[in-house]
Structure 1
Amino acid sequence: MKPDVYAANCPTRQILDRVGDKWAVLILLLLREEPMRFNQLRRTIEGISQKMLSQVLKSLERDGLIKRLAIATVPVTVEYSITQLGLTLAAAVDPLRDWAEQNLKDVLAAQRHYDAQKEEEAA
């Protein structure tokens, strides 16, 4: 079966869901810099809950984008690192991060303009 992202049952949609998940993207970009432990990730990524971080890490590991290494210490230390496959995805989404940073002012201005128009229409 040839992949067709527009078909409802095509597995490529699951991959695009991962790419569209802000938490997954942020985790991949961080792990591209260096391996990190769970709490390091949670402290660095503001706003992510412990539950959400755990879920996203499991999904990324299942997809082969990161690997989890349990180190025999007391208590056990768990470190996450990006895989070769994850590096390719991080390289693909990094230009989106750049675009967001470079165009932030324009997007915010467009949002303000839109909101002002809607307020005028409602009045």
Structure 2
Amino acid sequence: MADETVIEADNEESSGFEDREERRDQLKAAVEFYEYMSNAEDRGISRYEGPCRKLNSKIRTNIEKLVEAMREQLRVLDESPLDHLSKDDQRTREHQRNLDVEILEKAELILTRETDS
């Protein structure tokens, strides 16, 4: 029975990495597109024409939601103990965390920059 609990915990941990990677990929794509749309004038494209303005607003909202979800996930992970994880799993978790923080910082910078302008 105890072995089943460990297996379930390991499966949940692995699943969490996949979910984190998917969320990180979604946020990265949204940030890149939002940045592209925000800098459209630099490429001679008329900024925020009609539907583009609405789309950009939706993307910003999605970025804000993903940022909030990632912040919460990082908070929970930072508060959880690492004792039950192997050294390899601890390194993997730290690597995943660093990737999350990197894209999170970029997203927050873009949101802040757009708010300030």
- Common fold: TM-score over 0.5: no
Greater relative contact order (Cα < 8 A, sep 6+): 2
More strand by share: 1
TM-score, normalising length from structure 2? 0.32
